[in-house]
Structure 1
Amino acid sequence: MIYFTKLLELSFTENTDVAKNYERIKHFMNLTEKAPDLLKVLQIRAAAIISLSESLTNKSVSDKQQIYNSILYYVDKHLYSKLKVSDIAKHLYISESHLRAVFKMYSSISLQTYILKEKVQEAKLLLRRGVPAGEVAKLLYFYDTTHFLKTFKKYTDTTPHEYLAHYQQSITK
């Protein structure tokens, strides 16, 4: 995880297309999670470096793209806090309406939906590590456990319990 975080930070500091690199990194992280052994993990990491090196050579990013990249980075770094659109706007020194407009320009979903989807993805990792749903709700700052359960079901079409059972079944095959 730290390895991929460092690659994303490098992408951000080099003023590249962080959104694209973030998606690439998520893809490689998913592959790493499913890797059967250490050799496969190392092969995936090498592929990640090669893939990301292409984008590091293309540094031209517009101001709006830079704002979008900053939003993605901020959300990623603050999943374990109360994430409010107003706080992100303050952090980036722009209005909420401009922030929402820029995000919508590069994404097919609203910023609030993106935040919730990212929190649900993080929740999946926590659940797989044995963290109870109630604790996951607290860690990721959902309003309460009920809100977490409804949000999880909305974005995964399954409950946390069902998700975990399906995940455990898939790794024992």
Structure 2
Amino acid sequence: MIYLNQTYELLAGGFHAGNRSWNKRHTEIDNCFKLYQLTEGNVHVCSDQDDFTLEKGKMYFINGSKLSKQYCKESFSTHWIHFLPKDLMIYQGLLNLPAVVEIETNGISFIGLEQHIDMLLNSTKISSWEYVLSIMHVQALIQTVITRLTKDCDITATSTKIYRLEPAMRYMHANYKDTIHLKELACMCNVSPNYFHKIFKQTFKITPTNYIILLRMNSALQLLKDNGVTIKEIAFELGFTDNAHFCKTFKKYYGITPGEYQRNQNNILL
């Protein structure tokens, strides 16, 4: 029997209408993968080498680790999702792609997907069956995009080092809310802490510490959707020593405070 495991983690997503005030530089929170499909206007996505114009009606894969900034000159609206692969080979393969890749949209679209994204990010209000169906819809879109990327781009180049990192990656995804020391992650991979830090950053373009913070910050977005939970409770839930530390970290990554996000989340494109 072959077990088909879920291979992608949905971080955030939805529908957003914006204007020239949408102007953001790269932060650690951008070290994920993004799908945009514009319905109006256009936006600019920049790497260190190029300035890409995303156009109405087209779907784009964006390699967040290669972004330097994103901005809009006039106005735009877009469907969007941010995700991370759980499979390390896919993860590193996507990291090897250009900053922006246009996706052939024949047979795939965000149309009708908004409700499933919303259900997953606000899962306390849906049944188990609705949750499973929503996962299948969102995962089908991501999987189709990845399949088309493998056809148009070579994402097969990978390092043998990635297999050595797998135990640590699995542990971080399962325990990111707890205090995790570099030494214990290195021990899981049978390497020294310095070498583990070096090959992790080389492979995933982010340090182990910042990767854990990335997981915490994306979890914070979902927790902040529940108005019945205080920001202080969320801070301790995610392993922060105090509320002020959590708020400072959240603003560093997203450019706004947790309270501002909680009040205006439906009008924000991260």
TM-score norm. by structure 2 comes to 0.46
**Rg (Cα) greater in structure:** 2
Identity %: 22
Q: Structure 1 pair 94/123, CA: closer, same or farther in 2 (3 Å)?
A: same
Q: 1:51 to 1:156 in 2, by over 3 A?
A: same
Q: Specify the SS of the correspondent of 1:104.
A: helix
Q: CA RMSD in A?
A: 3.6
> Which string of whole-angstrom CA distances, capped at 9 and with x for unpartnered residues, describes residues 82-108 of structure 1?
122222112222211111010121233
Contact kept in structure 1, 2:93 and 2:158, CA below 8 Å = no
Q: How many residues align?
A: 153
Amino acid of the structure 1 residue aligned with 2:189 = L
* Pick aligned residue for 1:149 from 241, 247, 260: 247
Distance 2:166 2:185 in 1: 12
1:82 — aligned with what?
A: 179
Unmatched tracts of structure 2, length 5 or more: 10-84, 96-108, 119-133
Cα offset for 1:51? Answer: 4.3
Q: Distance in 1 between matches of 2:92 and 2:156?
A: 13
* Displacement of 1:20: 4.7
For 1:150 and 1:37, locate their aligned partners in 2 and report how far apart those are by CA, in whole Å. 32
- Asked if structure 2 preserves the Cα contact closer than 8 Å seen for 1:11 and 1:21, the reply is no
More strand by percentage: 2
Matches for 1:85-164 after TM superposition, within 5 Å? 85-130=182-227, 131-164=229-262
> Given that residues 127 and 164 in structure 1 are in contact (C-alpha distance below 8 angstroms), is that contact kept between their aligned partners in structure 2?
yes
Q: Higher helix share goes to which structure?
A: 1
CA–CA distance in structure 2, aligned partners of residues 108 and 75 of structure 1 = 16
Gap runs ≥5 in structure 1? 23-30
Instruction: Kindly indicate whether residue 7 of structure 2 is the aligned counterpart of residue 7 of structure 1.
Output: yes
1:27 match: none
Q: Give the drift of 1:144.
A: 1.5
Establish whether residue 37 from structure 1 lines up as the match of residue 115 from structure 2: yes
Give the AA of the match of 2:217: V
The alpha carbon displacement at 1:148 in A equals 0.9
* Cα distance between partner residues in 1 of 2:247 and 2:146: 35
Flag the 1:48–1:164 CA change in 2: closer, same or farther, 3 A: same
> Corresponding residue for 2:90?
17
Distance 1:17 1:38, change over 3 A: closer
Structure 2: which amino acid aligns with 1:37? Q
Which residue in 2 is equivalent to 1:26?
none
Q: State the 1:71 CA deviation.
A: 3.7
Equivalent residue of 1:158, what SS?
coil
Return the structure number with greater relative CO, CA threshold 8 A, min gap 6: 2
